[in-house]
C-alpha cells in the first residue's frame, strides 16, 4: 500500500523549508485546513530530530500567516495525533493547522479537549 503522505506532488506544496513542507488537507474539517509535514518519513512526532521540530513549528507560523491572509479565520486549532489510541490513522508524522470560524460549531469552549466525548466542558 502506498503512503498517502509520501505521494505528494510538488504542485500540492504550499510552503516549504529544508526539512518540512505544508499542503492543504485532502479531507479538510474547515476551509483552509493545512498539514505541516516533515520530509523524512517517520510516524511519531517524538521521533523527530530537534532540527525537524524547529522546522515544523517554523512552518506552522508561516502557514498561520498565509491562512490569515487568504481565509481570515477567527481562530485556530492545532493537533498532532500520536498512536492509534490518539486517533492517528496515517503512520506519518504531521501537524494539523485548522482555521476556525465564528459559529463553525455551536459551542467551541474547551477546544481540543473535545477529542474525548464528554470532556470538552470543565
The DSSP call for residue 49 is -
Phi-psi region of 67 (alpha: psi -120 to 50; beta: other; left: phi over 0): alpha
- What pLDDT, on a 0 to 100 scale, did the predictor assign at position 1? 57
* CATH architecture type of domain 10-103: 2-Layer Sandwich (3.30)
Domain ranges of the chain: 10-103
- What pLDDT, on a 0 to 100 scale, did the predictor assign at position 30? 96
| Cell digits of residue 53 | 521540530
Q: What is the pLDDT of residues 87-99, one digit of tens each?
A: 999 999 999 999 9
Q: What is the pLDDT of residues 5-46, one digit of tens each?
A: 777 677 789 999 999 999 999 999 999 999 999 999 999 999
Tell me how far CA of residue 38 lies from CA of 42, 112, 120, in angstroms.
8, 23, 30
Q: H or E stretch including 71?
A: helix 50-71
Amino acid at each position: 500500500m502506498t503512503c498517502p503522505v509520501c505521494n505528494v506532488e510538488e504542485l500540492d506544496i504550499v510552503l516549504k523549508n529544508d526539512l518540512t513542507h505544508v499542503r492543504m488537507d485532502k479531507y479538510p474539517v474547515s476551509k483552509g485546513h493545512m498539514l505541516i509535514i516533515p520530509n523524512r518519513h517517520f510516524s511519531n512526532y517524538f521521533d523527530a530530530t530537534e532540527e525537524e521540530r524547529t522546522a515544523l513549528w517554523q512552518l506552522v507560523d508561516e502557514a498561520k500567516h498565509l491562512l490569515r491572509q487568504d481565509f481570515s479565520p477567527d481562530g485556530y486549532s492545532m493537533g498532532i495525533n500520536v498512536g492509534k489510541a490518539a486517533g492517528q490513522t496515517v503512520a506519518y508524522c504531521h501537524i494539523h493547522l485548522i482555521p476556525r470560524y465564528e459559529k463553525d460549531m455551536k459551542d467551541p469552549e474547551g477546544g481540543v479537549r473535545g477529542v474525548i466525548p464528554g470532556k470538552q466542558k470543565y
